[in-house]
Structure 1
């Protein structure tokens, strides 16, 4: 069984953030407005989503630090509005929002105490989890969506240990048995389970995850 610790998740979140922001930095207004790999979303939608996610996870870090219950979003409607509004902003504003929000989240996570990391918080999906899950939630977002930008990064660019943890996580959330997971290279299996383009032949189609 794949295991992951807090230090692993923090490292992967930092890796994915650098991968994602490095690609976003190369996008001009036209290329930022082009479609992403996710159906119905431009790259602007994707960047707005990841930036808003950093702000939202920052709310959970605040909860863990202070004990003040602070949900990720006031409502799922707010989440959708943030994305749509953000997608209408100029590319340079989106880049600034993404980098600033990511830096703020990283700083706040590294400032959490041992006790703070054990505080229980509630995710946007209503799951009660210890704050130690926050970096993992962020790592998934930045790593997978770095691929979704469609600017050249693939699942093969992600750390092997992260891919193993991702596969275990998605398999559990999709309720799949080990026998339901096709054999193949780790990056392709992760892409398949995440509902992204992959090279596995005769694999049953799965809808997008995350």
Structure 2
């Protein structure tokens, strides 16, 4: 007999793809324990020092998780999209610790929120859900290790070239400010601006207000592939 998705999940295909892997009975128990929250873009979900009181599964939209220095410099850690969970939320719940970073709704967000005490009980009661939690946690942890490796070992010019290629896709334009790029690369606006001007002098990009247009993707790719 074919498993029928929960009516709520049919509205959120990314989340449905992740959660329909759970057995129907476990999925129904999980959804019954959760609340659906709708958060406007710009809403702060958590800050350093906050206690973690909910497990979060994003149904739709994007949450940005980042570190913010005393001088206002931002370092992007990761984004949480549809069907994904937040590794810092999971870590805080499992270890009974507070948050170490900022979490903000980058777009309008719809999410499932499971109270902390119910989350702990569900880990014991639902084997497939437990597997989902730890698999999601492991995937995100690997992403964070990769980020640390890039920041520590890869040259900034190569990382910037790779970033431009990835964000531009088929559009050939990255609609971000220099400050926004710096935040996502864990660098400073001044360093990113200096490199972008070098790229422009070499004919690889064209700088516009609030955007960068790729002019020589091949040259950028060669630079990015020579990163390590």
| Smaller-chain TM-score bracket | under 0.3
Q: Which structure features the higher share of strand residues?
A: 2
TM-score scaled by structure 1? Answer: 0.25
Bigger CA radius of gyration: 2
Q: Which has the higher contact order (CA 8 A, sep 6+)?
A: 1
TM-score scaled by structure 2? Answer: 0.24
